[in-house]
Structure 1
Amino acid sequence: MSLKWYSDPKPEQFKNPAAAFRLNALDDLLTSPDQPSADEIWWLAALEFGTNKDGSPRSLEEFMDWIPSQFIDQLFVPPEYYYPDSLLETETNSVTVVAQRALLNLINQVDSDAPVSMLDLGGVASPDMLRYFRDGPELNLRHIHEQLPEGAAVIAVIDSGIAVGHNLFRKRGSGTALDKTRVAFLWNMDGATTPSSPPQHWFRSGIDTLLALNMHEDHLDEATFYAQIGLIDWPRHGLNPVAHRISHGTHVMGLAAGLEPKDADLLDKRPIIAVQLPTNLVRDVSGANMSPAIKQALQFIRRAAKRFTIGLTSNRPPVVVNFSFGDFSGPHDGTGKMAEVLGKGFKSSSTNIRAVVLPSGNGNLSRCHAQVDLTARYPRADLNWRVQPEDLTVSSVEIWLPKSAAVPPVGSISLSVDHPAIAHSVTVECVPGAKAHLTAKDGTKIGHVSFTGPLHPTLRSRFTISIRPTAAADRIVALAPAGVWRLTLELGQSADDLRLEAWIARDETLPGFPDFGRQSYFDNSDYVRFYRPGVAVSPFDLPALIGKPLSYDPADPGLVRRAGTISGFACASAPAVLAGIVQPDRTIAAYSSGGPTDNPDRMGPDASATTDDSPVLAGVLSAGSNSGSLVAMRGTSVAAPQAVRWIAAELRPSKHDGRTLIRDMATSHPKLPEVRAGKGHMNVDPPFGSQRRPRPEA
């Protein structure tokens, strides 16, 4: 008898396994009568080019030369990379593109010779977005030159639902009406791109013209104004945040830059750059789709910021950027894609961006983080991942190994995934590229599990579990079962002890948005949600009342942790990160996330600001969508813009960056542990509604 030896093919390893799953495993959810082929779908993507072997940076030009001829029609690069302003240093070591999946799959393979070190997948490109990338006109800012007075600072806001016509963002012209805007530049990324549509880019002169056209008896016809500027467009969008009573971006920008006529000395010193994100992008709260658009937004802010000078000098005013978004997933060490994008937001020699300010996140009680220590004595651990019914989105978990450039030895760690409603459990070993499909009992593929080795810049291996939605509103498709998925981590017999960190991707429906995601969470029985007699609570949770929700891990916390739930966006070293506190006794808000992180330069947030006026008066007041209105909103999203407002006033006389400034001015307090509140409370009040909140003596 003769024997034949066959070598197993090398497993296909993707730089971004979650992107590979979304590109290739959801065809029935992505196709429709209007879009019959998933191969023809256009995706928004961010590409990082990395470096050559000699250390020199790779570039967009190298990438364009590399693209195989059969794929050249499957990619478009936006116009800003081809029509830079004369002073613009275009960042060509990374780029945002729209592309089709055949090319993206090729780029995403670890063994590909593409000059791309990392791919981050955004959402499906809308027809308007595709037209902008394919046919967008040159954005020419060279004719604009804004002279600002001494002491000025530019405030930039990236958000959704920004009512730029609110009276807090206007000033008086020659008469009594507030008919002049303080918004010097606006990019409505959600705008249409047809020839008959309002433009996406607006400058001060164009906004002033619209204000004048819609001003009647010193009052602005806001409905018509927003329709003409493209921020309300009912034929195109079923959801227009600016049309709601409260809109996230308006509230945030009000706290960061809103001024009343009585603030006359500041009206010309705080010009605004606003970037309105696409609504469909914001709807997906996982953050997985975000980085391509944020790279574009920061590029626009850098370009616009160069059009300002102090008087007739060549000196540029400082720029402070607010981005009040967060997520749960990522490595939490500063090397995640969004953390890197935001951390590099002000690395430019010719702009004066001095701070990017972020919230710490609202996931402290979300049960989306687990810490697993595997030892020779306890070599196995089970995580119960509860996926909710009626979830219209993909759910996913990442389990990160410790930092190491080396792949763990084969057999040192494995992950098994099981659920009563699937055909069989699957086990994936720590072999780069190893993966297994999760299948229903009828054989339908409903998810996958994969292992990825260490890749630059995050030199950490990870397991990724992704499953399909548990519901579909408008079609019959394969669905994943809801309920508890058992994730079993097991150490090999001769393996060294390991500490693993697991994070569930954020997945919920935002207030005011149509039903979308429902947040999954870890549901281990040893997680103590509420105080009961006998639980050794943290001293920061005292006094402990029976039934009180605990906002700190008890002395024996189990696998699922509150610690380490800080937003994955907020883990880089450079940005300033704000937590939230409740007045009047200055306790940390129960939802406010904290560290530690795996970045040695960041324990947690840098400082904290007021996010609730009292335990019964939730939130703080700021601009509603309509002029003259103030509404309350809570969350660490409202802490960040208060810091932006303060930093803008302090940067000019200081040579420090914004993060250093707020850490230096924060006031420590016995109820504010540094891992949750940073250096302490910023002793500044929200700018509006002071009658709502009596304050203790400082």
Structure 2
Amino acid sequence: MVLTWSPPVSAEFWDAYLDWSWLLQERRAALSPPPVHTPDWFTPMFVRLKASGTPPSLEKTRKTILRHVRTPGDPLMMDPQEFRRLKARSRPNDPLQGLPDEYWLYLRRGTPPSDYGDLMELIDVGYPVNLDASGSHSWLDEEDEVETSKPEKSGKSRPIVAIIDDGIGFLNARFRKPTRNGKYRTRFHAVWLQALETRRRGPGPRRALIGEILSRKDINKWVRKGQELEESAVYTQLSQQLFGMNEPKSLVFGTSHGTHLLDLAAGANPEDGDDPVHRWPLIGVQLPPEAVADTSGMRFESYMVQAVRWILSEAARINKKAPVIINLSLGMLAGPKNGTSFAEYQIAREAALWEEVTGQPVRIVWAFGNNRRSRQVAQFDYDPGAGVIEHQITWRAQPDDLTASYMEIRTAAGVPSDQIEISLTSPSGAASGFVPLPTGAYRSLDVNGAPIARIYHVEKHSLSPTVEQVATHTLALAPNEAQVAGEPLAEAGTWSVAVRYTGTAPCAVHLQIQRDENLPGFHSGGRQSYFDGGEDAYVWDPEFRNWSGLAPDCPITRAATHSALVTDTGRQIFSAAAAMWEASTQSYIPAYYTPDGSDWTVPGPTVATRAEDGWVERGVLSSNTLTGSVSPVAGTSAAAGRLTRALAMNAKLVVQNAAAGGGTQMDDLVGGVVPLLPVPPGETNRLGAALVNVHMGARPRG
């Protein structure tokens, strides 16, 4: 096997993850039997419309885009929710006047986005989807005007709790409310079960259909069956209808992440008619299983943003003044960590602008992350004056990895990315050497002409006139275990990464290995690669009482090990850390996995809540998928669920603060109905400003 490094190659790619994943997919497709139908690939794009026409106006642009997406064979398409939004805004009385003209579109692959450059500005690009598959979606009519259901009105300060997650057991009794005749009905206003996009064959609107939306009326048809309802049978039927034969179906499993967290956030005993939680309306979005399985985050960003936009529209139909609390307990590790990751930026923007323009309060709750001890973050410090211009570290790729591995290498704020050069050496010794790499270019490690590793220098991207994703370097490795016989594979083992700094001022460079694990219930085949720092990475750890500690001079660090989606500090954004109750001291301590903030990202989470009942009794008890079943759930996801409940319990305070404007996140918690406890000294970088002492939601042990 002969391995050779290519010289720098200039290419048109938006993102290293998208480019590398598409290369691997095309390579596997060429080695597989041909599909029954020729795939028709479309690329999701988030765009901002420009004024056009003579004289230029946004109204003319809206109508032009509508004409495109209605025209058979046109390269542009939309999904039904975004189409309804654009169509509504194209009428004389714009119902969303004041909000930016931003939309998700789908562009047939191979069509240059520049063909529409006079109509729109490209903000972000998602992973291509095959719209060749057929689908049957009864909730759509010719112009996508069918409403989810007639809304039930809610009091001004009664919170609307929403969740975006995987596996939401919407039939579980914890999400029902009693009626006057002694029966029950769902608290869900609507549930969107997302699936990879398809389109309807034959006549009908040209739409990219993203799964199925269930209305309150749909759900109540099942709930009214009472004791005759077989929840698992309903979930199985829906899952078979929406998802491919080989895809995980979380609602078929006994435990499901979304059910656990929604129970902590807004679950209630349906027999307790006096519980005020029974009056909280619910909205749910279940992400496509393929998007959840890809822990790099490459596939879920577009679905998450679409979900937030839909939730806000549906919440306004329930009550335009009621606070909306959205739980988002998903994340990835590597990213800019400065508020410019697209999903993080856009979700914060949607929340802030919606609250500003409509007056409806919005709060977003993220999980802070669970990767403190995973050895996926490192930092190189350079001081040219002292002769320190080059550092090296080991990147260990575990064997039997069926998925790609990625590493992001970012310079400190204000330091151009072209002031570093990167050398990558394979386990067998094929070294790239230090070669200047311009932005918009890559170098490939090839075996018989097929790339098995790459060094990318990704161009900067503008998110708005004042917000920019800076240029960065990304390293990509092919799998080292084949999904398809004959595909070129990277080597497992010790890869060496060296970074040379060419600037003159002292500088820090941050290295982050992206998430690549195999989630419970999923079969992506990922195995997490990690940094190895030699002897300095294996010193005595007094917390675990083993040799897993990090020496002070070790480049591997536990700082900034939090999720890449928790660094926007907007007023509407919260992040939750996990606290553990320690019975021996009768106090709270940080859970071992809850990460540290840092001086280059955020100093720490917003607050912490109890996510661990102790060293022996793992996690906290919460509902499984089916009614009546319970099991432990842990992690900062559990903490985020409980923080969501605390904010909902403080709904009146949230409404008051939104009306007053300004302030900080703590204003929604201090003085509310949920008590706050002080954080132990020296732990604010892991637990935030306070411990939110909310115990509702979780079931008692014993």
TM-score range, shorter-chain basis? 0.7 to 0.9
Answer yes or no: is 1:200 the counterpart of 2:212. yes
Normalising to structure 1: TM-score of the pair? 0.83
1:14-33 CA-to-partner distances (Å, cap 9, x unmatched) read 44233223334541224543
Shift of 1:386: 1.0
Gap regions ≥5 residues in structure 2:
1-6, 89-93, 203-208, 659-663
Q: Which residue of 2 aligns with 1:241?
A: 250
Cα distance in 2 for partners of 1:432, 1:361 equals 31
Cα distance in 2 for partners of 1:375, 1:482 equals 33
Q: Is the alpha carbon distance of 1:367 and 1:90 closer, same or farther for their aligned partners in structure 2, counting shifts above 3 Å? A: farther
User: Which piece of structure 1 moves more, 514-523 or 561-570?
Assistant: 514-523
Shift of 1:125: 4.2
Q: Is the alpha carbon distance of 1:403 and 1:59 closer, same or farther for their aligned partners in structure 2, counting shifts above 3 Å? A: farther
Q: What is the one-letter code of the residue matched to 1:361?
A: G
Cα distance in 2 for partners of 1:476, 1:9 equals 27
Q: Which residue of 1 aligns with 2:638?
A: 638
Q: Which residue of 2 aligns with 1:269?
A: 279
Q: Which residue of 2 aligns with 1:282?
A: 292
User: Which piece of structure 1 moves more, 59-68 or 611-620?
Assistant: 59-68
Shift of 1:148: 1.7
Cα distance in 1 for partners of 2:211, 2:450 equals 45
3-state SS in 2 of match to 1:102: coil
User: Which piece of structure 1 moves more, 345-354 or 465-474?
Assistant: 345-354
Q: Which residue of 1 aligns with 2:79?
A: 78
Answer yes or no: is 1:683 the counterpart of 2:693. yes
Shift of 1:392: 1.4
Cα distance in 1 for partners of 2:84, 2:404 equals 37
3-state SS in 2 of match to 1:511: coil
CA contact (8 A) 2:368 2:595 kept: yes
3-state SS in 2 of match to 1:116: strand
Shift of 1:161: 0.7
2:516 to 489, 507, 512: 507
Q: Which residue of 1 aligns with 2:315?
A: 305
Q: Which residue of 2 aligns with 1:321?
A: 326
Q: Which residue of 2 aligns with 1:528?
A: 537
CA contact (8 A) 1:607 1:662 kept: no
User: Which piece of structure 1 moves more, 122-131 or 502-511?
Assistant: 122-131
Q: Is the alpha carbon distance of 1:430 and 1:662 closer, same or farther for their aligned partners in structure 2, counting shifts above 3 Å? A: farther
1:71-121 CA-to-partner distances (Å, cap 9, x unmatched) read 974442212233236745696644333344323xx4499xx9894344332
CA contact (8 A) 1:88 1:303 kept: no
Any residues of structure 2 matched to 1:369-380 within 5 Å, and which?
Answer: 369-376=377-384, 377-380=387-390
Q: Which residue of 1 aligns with 2:489?
A: 479
Shift of 1:194: 6.7
Shift of 1:689: 2.4
* RMSD over equivalenced CA pairs, Å: 3.9
Cα distance in 2 for partners of 1:297, 1:516 equals 27
Shift of 1:399: 0.6
1:309-361 CA-to-partner distances (Å, cap 9, x unmatched) read 3xxxxx52111000111111111111111211221241212262421000000
Any residues of structure 2 matched to 1:438-477 within 5 Å, and which?
Answer: 438-440=445-447, 442-456=448-462, 457-477=467-487
Q: Is the alpha carbon distance of 1:545 and 1:256 closer, same or farther for their aligned partners in structure 2, counting shifts above 3 Å? A: closer
CA contact (8 A) 1:122 1:291 kept: no
CA contact (8 A) 1:355 1:659 kept: no
Any residues of structure 2 matched to 1:59-138 within 5 Å, and which?
Answer: 61=62, 64=65, 73-84=74-85, 87-88=95-96, 93-103=101-111, 106-107=112-113, 115-122=120-127, 124-125=129-130, 138=144
Answer yes or no: is 1:163 the counterpart of 2:169. yes
Shift of 1:222: 1.3
1:634-685 CA-to-partner distances (Å, cap 9, x unmatched) read 1111100101111011122342369334664642232561111111311122
Cα distance in 2 for partners of 1:357, 1:249 equals 14
Cα distance in 1 for partners of 2:37, 2:536 equals 45
Cα distance in 1 for partners of 2:446, 2:516 equals 22
Q: What is the one-letter code of the residue matched to 2:683?
A: P
Q: Which residue of 1 aligns with 2:615?
A: 615
CA contact (8 A) 2:50 2:118 kept: no
3-state SS in 1 of match to 2:291: helix
Q: Is the alpha carbon distance of 1:215 and 1:88 closer, same or farther for their aligned partners in structure 2, counting shifts above 3 Å? A: farther
Shift of 1:123: 5.7
CA contact (8 A) 2:41 2:129 kept: yes
Shift of 1:223: 2.5
CA contact (8 A) 1:48 1:118 kept: yes
Answer yes or no: is 1:596 the counterpart of 2:594. no
Shift of 1:633: 1.2
Q: Is the alpha carbon distance of 1:481 and 1:72 closer, same or farther for their aligned partners in structure 2, counting shifts above 3 Å? A: farther
Q: Which residue of 2 aligns with 1:215?
A: 226
Cα distance in 2 for partners of 1:59, 1:431 equals 39
Q: Which residue of 1 aligns with 2:22?
A: 23
CA contact (8 A) 1:332 1:597 kept: no
CA contact (8 A) 2:37 2:132 kept: no
CA contact (8 A) 1:323 1:357 kept: yes
1:210-248 CA-to-partner distances (Å, cap 9, x unmatched) read 222x333xx532123334555886874552211212110
CA contact (8 A) 2:265 2:641 kept: yes
1:537-578 CA-to-partner distances (Å, cap 9, x unmatched) read xxxxxx65741755xx65x14211111111001111121000
Q: Is the alpha carbon distance of 1:352 and 1:146 closer, same or farther for their aligned partners in structure 2, counting shifts above 3 Å? A: same
Q: Is the alpha carbon distance of 1:37 and 1:146 closer, same or farther for their aligned partners in structure 2, counting shifts above 3 Å? A: closer
1:335 to 323, 340, 351: 340
Shift of 1:135: 9.4
Q: Is the alpha carbon distance of 1:71 and 1:235 closer, same or farther for their aligned partners in structure 2, counting shifts above 3 Å? A: closer
3-state SS in 1 of match to 2:657: coil
Cα distance in 1 for partners of 2:505, 2:222 equals 67
Q: Which residue of 2 aligns with 1:3?
A: none
Q: What is the one-letter code of the residue matched to 1:588?
A: P
CA contact (8 A) 2:610 2:693 kept: no
Q: Which residue of 2 aligns with 1:420?
A: 427
Q: Is the alpha carbon distance of 1:630 and 1:137 closer, same or farther for their aligned partners in structure 2, counting shifts above 3 Å? A: farther
Answer yes or no: is 1:559 the counterpart of 2:555. yes
Q: Is the alpha carbon distance of 1:370 and 1:234 closer, same or farther for their aligned partners in structure 2, counting shifts above 3 Å? A: closer
Shift of 1:175: 3.9
3-state SS in 2 of match to 1:688: coil
CA contact (8 A) 1:81 1:90 kept: no
Q: Which residue of 1 aligns with 2:91?
A: none
Residues paired across the two proteins, number: 649
CA contact (8 A) 1:107 1:119 kept: no
Cα distance in 2 for partners of 1:135, 1:44 equals 24
Cα distance in 1 for partners of 2:446, 2:645 equals 52
Gap regions ≥5 residues in structure 1:
1-7, 310-314, 533-542, 693-698
Q: What is the one-letter code of the residue matched to 1:659?
A: Q
1:158-217 CA-to-partner distances (Å, cap 9, x unmatched) read 11111101110112234444x3111111111139877999981121122112222x333x
Q: What is the one-letter code of the residue matched to 1:371?
A: Q
1:370-416 CA-to-partner distances (Å, cap 9, x unmatched) read 11112222111012111111111111111111233x8566xx42111
3-state SS in 2 of match to 1:656: helix
Cα distance in 1 for partners of 2:492, 2:60 equals 44
Cα distance in 1 for partners of 2:337, 2:576 equals 16
CA contact (8 A) 2:344 2:566 kept: yes
CA contact (8 A) 2:417 2:473 kept: no
User: Which piece of structure 1 moves more, 451-460 or 236-245?
Assistant: 451-460
Cα distance in 2 for partners of 1:242, 1:9 equals 47
Answer yes or no: is 1:252 the counterpart of 2:261. yes
Cα distance in 1 for partners of 2:240, 2:180 equals 27
Cα distance in 2 for partners of 1:263, 1:672 equals 43
